[in-house]
Amino acid sequence: MATIEEAGLRWVQIDSPGPAEVAWLDEAYPFHELDLEDVRSRRQRPKVDDYPDYLFAVLHFPWYDKETERLYAAELNAFVGRDYLITLPNVPLKPLTALFRRLELSTEERAEFFSKGSGYLFYEVLDALYAYCFPILDQIGRKLDDIEDAVFEERNEDIVRRISNVKQEIISYRKIVKPQRPVLRLLERDTERFLAEDLEIYYDDLIDTSERIWDVLDNYKEVIEALEDTNETAIAQRQQRVLRVLTVFSATMLPLTLVTGLFGMNVEVPWEGEIRGFWIVLGGLIAGLAGMLTAFRFWRWL
CATH (domain of 57): 3.30.460.20
CATH number at 244 reads: 1.20.58
- Secondary element (H or E) of residue 62: strand 54-65
Q: Mean pLDDT across the stretch 138-163?
A: 83
134 and 250 co-located in one domain = no
216 and 278 co-located in one domain = no
Query: For 252-290, how does the pLDDT look when each residue is reduced to its tens digit (9 = 90+)?
Result: 777 777 777 767 766 676 766 677 777 777 787 788 778
Query: For 212-229, how does the pLDDT look when each residue is reduced to its tens digit (9 = 90+)?
Result: 999 999 999 999 999 888
The answer, yes or no, to whether residue 192 has pLDDT greater than 90, is no
The band of 156, judged by pLDDT with boundaries at 50, 70 and 90, is: low
- Secondary element (H or E) of residue 286: helix 275-298
The answer, yes or no, to whether residue 105 has pLDDT greater than 70, is yes
156 and 261 co-located in one domain = no
pLDDT at site 267: 66
170 and 268 co-located in one domain = no
The band of 195, judged by pLDDT with boundaries at 50, 70 and 90, is: confident
Q: Residue 169's closest CA among 184, 147, 154?
A: 147
Q: Mean pLDDT across the stretch 127-149?
A: 91
Name the domain boundary from 228, 253, 287: 228
263 and 152 co-located in one domain = no
d(CA 44, CA 281): 82
d(CA 281, CA 180): 79
pLDDT at site 155: 61
d(CA 194, CA 84): 10
Residue range of the domain that includes 98 = 2-228
At 74, the amino acid letter reads A
> Helix, strand, or coil here: 8?
coil
- Whole-angstrom CA distances from 302 to 78, 244, 245, 285, 290 are 68, 8, 8, 20, 13
- Give percent above pLDDT 90 in the chain: 38
22 and 151 co-located in one domain = yes
pLDDT at site 301: 66
168 and 211 co-located in one domain = yes
31 and 141 co-located in one domain = yes
**Most confidently modeled of 68-72, 90-94, 274-278?**
90-94
pLDDT at site 257: 78
168 and 257 co-located in one domain = no
Name the domain boundary from 201, 228, 255: 228
Name the domain boundary from 228, 252, 274: 228
Question: Got the DSSP string for 161-228?
Answer: HHHHHHHHHHHHHHHHHGGGHHHHHHHHHHTGGGS-GGGTHHHHHHHHHHHHHHHHHHHHHHHHHHHH
63 and 192 co-located in one domain = yes
Query: Looking at the 3D structure of the chain, how many domains does it have?
Result: 2
- Secondary element (H or E) of residue 72: strand 70-81
Q: Residue 78's closest CA among 98, 53, 49?
A: 49
Q: Residue 36's closest CA among 48, 23, 47, 45?
A: 23
143 and 194 co-located in one domain = yes
Q: Residue 17's closest CA among 76, 99, 102?
A: 76
The band of 116, judged by pLDDT with boundaries at 50, 70 and 90, is: confident
Q: What angle do CA 19, 24, 30 make, to 5 degrees?
A: 120
Sheet order of strands, 2-6 included: 2-6, 9-13, 84-89, 70-81, 54-65, 47-50
16 and 95 co-located in one domain = yes
Q: Residue 209's closest CA among 48, 21, 107, 59?
A: 59
Average of per-residue pLDDT values in the chain? 85
The answer, yes or no, to whether residue 92 has pLDDT greater than 80, is yes
